[in-house]
Amino acid sequence: MKFAYYITDHGFGHLMRELPVMRELIRRGHKVTVVTGKQQAEVTDDYLDHKAEIIVENTDAGLVVIPGSLIIDTDATVAKIKEHVSKWERLIEESVDADAYVIDICPWAVIAAKKKGIRSFLMTNFTWIEQYEPFVPEELVNVYKDAYHQADKVIYFDLANESSRRFFGEGIEVGFSARPFDPEKVKAIREAHDKPIVVITCGASNSGFDFDIDVSKLPYSFIVTRALKLIGDNVEYLDPKTNNTQDYVAAADYCIAKAGWSTVSEFVTAGVRTALLERDDTAEDTMTINQLKDRKLAISIKVDELKDIGKVIEKMDSFGWSDKIYENEYSKIADIIENNTKQEL
């Protein structure tokens, strides 16, 4: 069978949860085509060992943030949405043939599947509807609602928010999906550091923060993404081309991160203590954080608290953590997509 994946090019999180499922489908002998942005396409081609057809396309509008912050630039975001919606007709016309579309979370691809008579799976823990409703004009949000309503099957990841569940209704429930950890690489990362490891990431869909953070006197080894500005000989910056960032999460004693679903999926399947950055203007992050706090799987912090990371780590040390480690269910998700598609052929 042939599966076409349509992946948002807003950051890398949506891609990361789909990559292990794609690889599993390829391992089972299926053909996979991936339509996504340029940077995401490069990561995909590398992770899948050049075994998938890759099509580079601007697949989504996403969110625009104010440089040096995680705050949404609402006017710029609305303008970008309008610009992208104007491209949908072309994108739909150029969509590929396949036995099924797997969509995360590009709305126009749902329309394309319906027009071609191709089965669609919408993979979701949220949609752009919840993100856009607070500030995007209603008529524009309705364009997204009309598109999403055409999905044949909705697959809810763990932590899927209640707004999405009310909108779609019945769906297939799955757990977490993350790139599998390599025990040998995790061991090597730990052995390369003689202090507890703190991994800090704020995602790839923003430009980081506009302040420096001095960690030189803290008794930890920091592994961070380049968007952050940490000062100290105990700081290691990850190369943007690093293709096994999940192993660094698994090797960490502490993680500080933006509450993107794929980052969450990695730390909950690794069992790492994590502090998540609050973003009051981002519905997805707020809903995710609240669920994780209820399960005692994370604490939350304000961005300004990063200026004293020592205190953040103290907060993590004093928190009453759940000892539950969640299973990585990427193979189960491949089963669901494969079996449901077979039934329709």
Tell me the per-residue pLDDT of 218-276, one tens digit each, with 9 for 90 and over: 999 999 987 788 999 999 999 888 889 999 999 999 999 999 999 999 999 999 999 99
Q: Tell me, yes or no, whether 165 and 60 share the same domain.
A: yes
CATH, residue 266: 3.40.50.2000
Is the domain of 92 the same as that of 205?
A: no
Rounded to an integer, what is the distance from CA 193 to the centroid of its chain?
28
Domain assignment present for residue 215? The answer is yes
Is residue 323 one of the residues assigned to a domain?
A: no
CB atoms within 10 A of CB 121: 26
| Separation of alpha carbons 250 and 265, rounded Å | 11
Give the CA radius of gyration of the chain: 20
**260 & 158 share domain:** no
Q: What is the pLDDT of residue 206?
A: 46
Q: Are 32 and 53 in contact (CB under 8 A)?
A: yes
Residues 162 and 218 both lie in one domain: no
Give a yes or no: residue 199 inside a domain.
yes
291/336 same-domain check: no
Residues 205, 219, single domain; the answer is yes
324 in a structural domain: no
Q: Do 225 and 188 share a domain, yes or no?
A: yes
Same domain, 104 and 235: no
Q: What is the pLDDT of residue 228?
A: 82
Alpha helices by DSSP H, 179-244: 183-191
What is the domain range of residue 61? 2-177+329-344
User: Torsion angle, CA of 180/165/321/301, rounded to 10 degrees?
Assistant: 100
Task: Going from the first residue of the chain to its last (345 residues), give the mean pLDDT of each consecutive group of 10, the final group possibly shorter.
Answer: 98 95 98 97 96 98 90 96 98 98 98 98 96 96 98 98 95 98 98 97 63 94 88 93 93 95 96 94 88 97 94 98 95 98 89
CA 83 to chain centre: 23
Are 101 and 83 in contact by the 8 Å Cβ rule? The answer is no
Helix (H, G, I), strand (E, B) or coil at 175: coil
Same domain, 207 and 294: yes
- Contact indicator for 71, 206 with CB cutoff of 8 Å: no
Residues 99 and 211 in one domain: no
Residues 211, 67 share a domain: no
Domain tally, the chain: 2
Assess if residue 253 is contained within a domain: yes
Residues 208 and 173 in one domain: no
Read off the amino acid at residue 265: S
Distances, alpha carbon 93 to alpha carbons 116, 119, 270, in Å: 10, 17, 42
Quick check: is 23 in a domain?
yes
**What is the Cα–Cα distance from 136 to 316, expressed in whole angstroms?**
36
In a domain, 116, yes or no: yes
The DSSP bridge partners found for residue 214 are 231
pLDDT reported for residue 325: 86
Burial of 39 (0-12, 13-18, 19+ CB in 10 A): middle
Peptide bond before residue 105 is cis, with ω within 30 degrees of 0: yes
Please report where in the chains the tokens 């809810």 appear, as a residue. Answer: 156
What digits encode the pLDDT tens for the residues 61-70? Answer: 999 999 888 8
**Is residue 120 domain-resident?**
yes
